[in-house]
Structures are given as structure tokens and as C-alpha cells.
Amino acid sequence: MAHTAIAYAKASGRRRAMAVTSSIGPGATNMVTAAALAHVNRLPVLFIPGDVFSNRAPDPVLQQVEDFEDGTVSVNDCLRPVSRNLDRISRPEHLLTALPRALQTMTDPAACGPVTLAFCQDPQAEAYDYPESFFTPRVWRIRRPQPDPQELSDVAETLKRAARPVIVAGGGVIYSGAERALVDFAHAHNIPLVETQAGKGAVNWQDGLNLGPAGVTGGDAANRALSEADLVLGVGTRFQDFTTGSWTVFANPERRLVSINVSGYDAAKHGALGVVSDARVALETLSGALGDKTWPDRDTEARAGWFEAADAVMAAPNAAGLPTDAQVIGGVQRQAGADTAVICAAGTMPGALHTLWRAARGGYHMEYGFSCMGYEIAGAMGLKLAQPGKDVVCFVGDGSYMMANSELATAVMRRIPFTVVLTDNRGYGCINRLQMGCGGAEFNNLYASSNVETQPQIDFVRHAASMGAHAVKAADIGDLETQVRAVRGRDIPTVIVIETDPYPGTGVGGHWWNVAVPEVSARPEVRAARQAYEQRAAQHGAD
């Protein structure tokens, strides 16, 4: 349910949040992964785990983890590094200061993230005469920090001197509500833009200045523009390694890095010339500082060529055999409408969707800061709760589905409809390809290459149906499209299972990702992979 709460906050643009409760023991430690996910993605959620008795009378209590050297430690201390703020409520009156502080953190655009209030068990049951003023309704306003005039002036002058600027649109664009301001800025000055995983969907894919996804899972048009850029203007991005191709996609040796971010920590990354400000305010102010400055038109054939290449790999197969993930995406894409929102988190599909999916504005919800397996189905429920008018499509591999699927039952009970497209490649195809790409032999990622005599034969359709979902198996891409169309109007989740080929990658786009290969190995494939790795590292100055 913590994942549901996180997706709800993300889909609400950080304007709404949920509280999630648990016991002192495994419920609390289960929250650690979710808290890390929320922390990495700068998303607000209030965690309220139980804790030890403050009076220690029944010490140790059920589920209590005892620290032999520190009597003040409980499992909730595991949440310290993944909480923006943590407090232990050992007296009822602690809430008078702790709760407002929690809400202040969750609504602070720069410090936004998860807050943990660990409630000791005895004060949970105590009565306390809180002042009436404590319950007065309050509106928490999310501030819009203004840019420092000197920082803005420096960026404006640096940008004016650039010949080939490119904008990198991150998730901060969406959280700021700066989508329109970004489009206006780009068109006023004729600057192309590219999308991160978190920023995809801020600008409609059909916008002529939108060159699409960037980085490791990026498209050819976006990555080419970034490689040629002499100024990269990041807006609301933390420049994660997938966005930057492990800091190799910005290949122009003369390029400058400029970063607009509400967080000073993110704005200063990698020596960027930073503007610490709300994204919408900064873009509007910077546009005014640039005046009528515009840049020449760029190569439009690169954008058209990229979409042509993507169309080819997403086309329905014309031969026998299992479809690829790209063909599955193509089948769903052809049935998508302006109100379709896709959600994913781990495995093959996040990269493939970033590369290939054509998102209408607000139609893309990817948890790729933590790439957390098990987020998908719970997250789809949170997305649908936050945006009931959206046609929510959740892409999930069989590996992630096996890890966490029980929120299907919750969604059935609550009558929360969404579509799950479950790609069954009989294992962990994404990691298998990575294993092979680093020169390793296939081992323990696909059932077929595992050292077991009896291969699992999992009937995902019957499993999902047993929880009350409408579940079907698509025979091929054409049948997949038929089943996607048939979903509309149902009031419960629909699970569409389709078998896929685990070996092909996306087939187009992409960029180098710094995944180290062993220096020493008896396998010639590893030695060859190491040689290729060293060549790329040297080429990009990453060695």
C-alpha cells in the first residue's frame, strides 16, 4: 500500500499525499524499500509505523529487534537514511510539533520526500487534551522560489552565447506545473527539448521541438542532439546516469551544463551553472531575459527518421514466433487514446517504454529512480485513484508480477479498474540480456537456463482470475489489441497475459551504460566484452 500511496502522490503532482501505517516489525521493515523509492523520486508520503513501548514495561515486545548496545534503537531506525524527516512519538504531545513539521517537509518543493513518524505503542492509546487550535483546518501552500537575479543573469548570458542549446526536461517540470511554460519557452526561442524518464509526458510527443527520450534508453534524434549540443539546459532533472548515458551522451567537449532546479543539491551537480528556483518561474523569467533571441531551425529529418525506425520495431509481426516487447508496446500504442496513461517500474519494459512509447501530455508514469520490482500493480491502483478519468495501462513482466501482485485483490474489492499487460518471457529476460552482454553465460535468469529438472508452468490467467480480476491470454499481437479494446467499461482490473521472446532488445535507440566487466576471466566472451568496455570508457573519458 506504500507503493499505492507513492503513485498517488506522483500522479497528483505532489499536491496530495497519503499516510500508511504498519506494525513495529515486518510491516515497518517492509516500508524501507518504499521509503527509499519515495526518497529517490522526491515524493511525499507519511509513514506511521508502530514502535516499542516508551515506558519499556513489557520489553521486549513481539516483533521487537533488540540492539545489544543501544536500548533506544528499534527497526524504525532503518528508515533514517530513506526519510527526509523522522521522529519517534513517545508522548502524545509530541504530535503538536512533529506533525506540522512532517507536513512542512512533505510540501516543501526542495525537501519533499517521505516522512516517518514512529508511534510508540503506549502513547497510541493515551488520551490527551490537545488545544482546539491544533485541529483548525490549514492550507499548506507549495512555495515557488524565485531565481536569484545574478544566477539568472549568468545563465541568460551563457545561453545567449550558445550555438546549439538543448533542453533536458525532467520530472520537476511536472511537479512545478511548468508544462505549458516549458513549451512556450522552447517555441519562443526555438530550442529543441528531450525527455528523461520522469519528464516524459510533460510535453506531447507530437510537438515538433520534442526530440523524445534521452540517454541509455533514448532515441537517436535526442541523443544526437545532445552529443552536438554546446549547452545542455536541464530543467527539473537530477541528471541520473540513464539520462546522461553515464555522463557520455554530452559528447561536445565545448558544452556547458546549466541546471534549473528547486533543490540546490541537484542544481549544482557536475559543476553545472545552477539556478535554484521553481521551474515555471525560472523559465518565464529566463524567457524575458532572453528577449527575442531565437536559434536557427535544427535538422527535422532526425526526428522523423527516429519515429520511422521506432514504427518498424513496433509493427505487428508478420511471421510465426513469439512477439518482442517492442511489438507488444506497439499493439497497446495503436489502441491508446489521449486519456491513456502507462505505468511501469522494473525489468525490460521501463527502458522499452521510454524509448518507444508516444505519450500524450500526462500519459506517462514511470518509477525509474529506484526501478523497484513490485511497484507496478500497486502503483497502477494509486494512479487510478489519483486520476480516475485516465485509462491506466500497467506493463509488468512475469518476474515483477511474481514478486507483488496481491493489490489486484484490493483493486477488485474497491472496484478500481485498470489494465495489466503481463509479458511472460519465463524468467528475467532483461537481466539475462545484461548478463550475456557482459560476456557471461546464461545462468539462472530464465527458467530454461536454470539448473532445475522441473520447469515452472505458471498459469497467470488463472492466478489473476482467482483474485477476481478479468483475466485472458492473448494469442498474438492482433488478439492483444482486441483484448485492450474490450477492457473499456469494466469496473475491475483486467489482466492480459501474452508470451514474449526473452532475447531481443528494443531494436532501436540506446546509448552506452557504464556497467563494469571483469578484467580477468577464463571466458573469451568476457575478455571480448572487457575489451569493448575499455574502448568505450577510453573513448568517453570514463576510464
3-class secondary structure, 53:
coil
**3-class DSSP string for 413-479:** HHCCCCEEEEEECCECHHHHHHHHHCCCCCCCCEHHHCCCCCCCCCCHHHHHHHCCCEEEECCCHHH
Q: Minimal CA–CA distance to 216: which of 245, 249, 247, 248?
A: 245
Q: Which fold has domain 320-499?
A: Rossmann fold (3.40.50)
Phi and psi (nearest 5°) for 446?
Answer: -105, 145
Q: Minimal CA–CA distance to 511: which of 372, 364, 354, 298?
A: 354
In CATH, the number for domain 149-303 is 3.40.50.1220
Diameter over CA atoms, the chain: 74
Tens of pLDDT along the chain (543 residues) come to: 999 999 999 999 999 999 999 999 999 999 999 999 999 999 999 999 999 999 999 999 999 998 999 999 999 999 999 999 999 999 999 999 999 999 999 999 999 999 999 999 999 999 999 999 999 999 999 999 999 999 999 999 999 999 999 999 999 999 999 999 999 999 999 999 999 999 999 999 999 999 999 999 999 999 999 999 999 999 999 999 999 999 999 999 999 999 999 999 999 999 999 999 999 999 999 999 999 999 999 888 999 999 999 999 999 998 889 999 999 999 999 999 999 999 999 999 999 999 999 999 999 999 999 999 999 999 999 999 999 999 999 999 999 999 999 999 999 999 999 999 999 999 999 999 999 999 999 999 999 988 888 888 899 999 999 999 999 999 999 999 999 999 988 999 999 999 999 999 999 999 999 999 999 999 999 999 999 999 888 866 544
Instruction: Output the nine-digit C-alpha cell for 253.
Output: 567537449
Give CA–CA dist 355/199, Å, rounded.
Answer: 13
What residues form DSSP beta bridges with 45? 114
Q: Which CATH superfamily is domain 2-135 in?
A: Thiamin diphosphate (ThDP)-binding fold, Pyr/PP domains (3.40.50.970)
3-class secondary structure, 389:
coil
Give CA–CA dist 169/210, Å, rounded.
Answer: 10
Enter the DSSP assignment of 263: S
Give CA–CA dist 428/76, Å, rounded.
Answer: 32
Stated pTM of the model = 0.95
Contact 319, 472 (CB under 8 A): no
Give CA–CA dist 211/186, Å, rounded.
Answer: 12
Instruction: Give how far the C-alpha of residue 169 lies from the chain's centroid of Cα atoms, to the nearest Å.
Output: 14
Instruction: Output the nine-digit C-alpha cell for 364.
Output: 506517462
Beta strands 231-235; 165-169: pairing state = parallel
Give CA–CA dist 472/483, Å, rounded.
Answer: 8
| Domain ranges within the chain, ordered by starting residue | 2-135, 149-303, 320-499
Residue 413's alpha-carbon distances to 406, 433, 491, 495, in angstroms, are: 12, 38, 10, 16
Domains 149-303 and 320-499 agree in fold: yes
Instruction: Output the nine-digit C-alpha cell for 179.
Output: 508544462
